[in-house]
Structure 1
Amino acid sequence: MKTRLPLALMSLLTFLFASARAHAEPLKVGDPAPAVTATTDAGTRIDLGDAYKKQRYTLVYFYPRAGTSGCTAQGCSLRDAYEELTRQGVAVFGVSTDDVAAQAKFKAEEHFPFTLLADPDRAVIKAFGVPVRSVPAIGEFAARQAFLIKDGKIVWADYKAKTDQQAADVLKVLAADKS
């Protein structure tokens, strides 16, 4: 009996430690933006570290699942404001756990002018510390969050991104940034 308690306790501690490490904290304003490589909706690889240097700002937004109503509203908000966003020097990247085919279909159906990143292995999601929720029998989904990057640093973080207000929220931040 004495050997079971330490073994059970060790198992519990191992589980708690592994769980704590699996849930990284989301990036905060002032943190360096992760220079992670990802796969685009076209199946090509992109280094986000290089992408940050090409525009004044980079918006990396996370959504749960391609083609769902909330994710479509979020993407369409950015699509509809894309001309204004690009005029202000913003490159936009959408990220979900979907594969390349799902991202390409979603982009084509909704006429998104920006790049979607397929992140089924969650490398980008983990690098940004975005929480992932598991839904039994359906799969894992990234939380809806957004990060605005300037000069390689997070300048704005939206941890509870609103689906149809995503572009308006970003444009408000841009209007306030006079640097």
Structure 2
Amino acid sequence: MSQNSLTDVDWSKIPAPSDDGGAAHLASMTIPSVTLRATNDTSVTLSELKGRTVVFAYPRTGEPGKIGLVDDWDMIPGARGCTPQTCSFRDLFAELKVAGAAHVFGLSTQSNEYQTEMANRLHLPFPVLSDEALKMTRALNLPTMSVAGQTLIKRLALIIDDARIRHVLYPVFPPDRNAGDVLEWLKENSGK
């Protein structure tokens, strides 16, 4: 089963991911000194950022009109929904900033070139980081899945205060509500 639109998805027909414990170790971890390429043509070292940072990770965004990575992509729990998740962070970006997010980033293992096209197409107001070499993924032991020989990050969101992970949202479903859930947490935990 494949749904035609990258953004309009009937979540009742998509299997929800279960909490496999893959992110349980992340709370309170210190972000390692890993530099990643960003879609705004900069290099970002998350461990050097001051204040509150939101990083939402996802397996891979799709391309309009292109065939998915595998035929049954929509049936892999947690795979479908990267574009709706990203668009929800775009749409709530200003509110996230007001609620205390000094920085907002997307993160996937896709190449910087691919992500830059996607960021431009979706008019993202924040950079997306490429962990194509899996440096951050391995350093934090992020939960991953293997699809078509590729290692992909399972969908999650990290709220980081001065290089320490303060809160983890995992699993994330439906993906298009992730930014709203992050925003709610930020509002409830402002100044803490």
Q: 1:121 aligns with which of 133, 137, 153?
A: 133
What's the CA shift for 1:38?
0.7
Alignment of 1:16-165 (within 5 A): 26=23, 27-51=25-49, 53=50, 56-67=51-62, 70-90=81-101, 91-136=103-148, 139-162=150-173, 163-165=175-177
Partner of 1:12: none
TM-score by length of 2: 0.72
TM-score, normalised to structure 1, is 0.77
Cα pair 2:158 2:165 within 8 Å, conserved? yes
Unpaired segments of 5 or more residues in structure 1?
1-24
Count of residue pairs brought into register by the alignment: 151
**C-alpha deviations, 1:43-81, integer Å up to 9, x for none?**
432211122x1xx31011111112366111001111110
The CA deviation at 1:89 is 2.7
> Paired residue for 2:3?
none
CA distance in 2, matches of 1:152, 1:140: 25
State the percentage of identical aligned residues: 33
| Runs of 4+ deviating beyond 3 Å | none
**Offset of residue 131 of structure 1:** 2.0
Correspondence for 2:7: none
Q: Give the direction of change, closer, same or farther, for the CA distance of 1:72–1:122 in structure 2 (3 Å limit).
A: same
Q: Which of 166, 170, 179 is residue 167 of structure 1 equivalent to?
A: 179
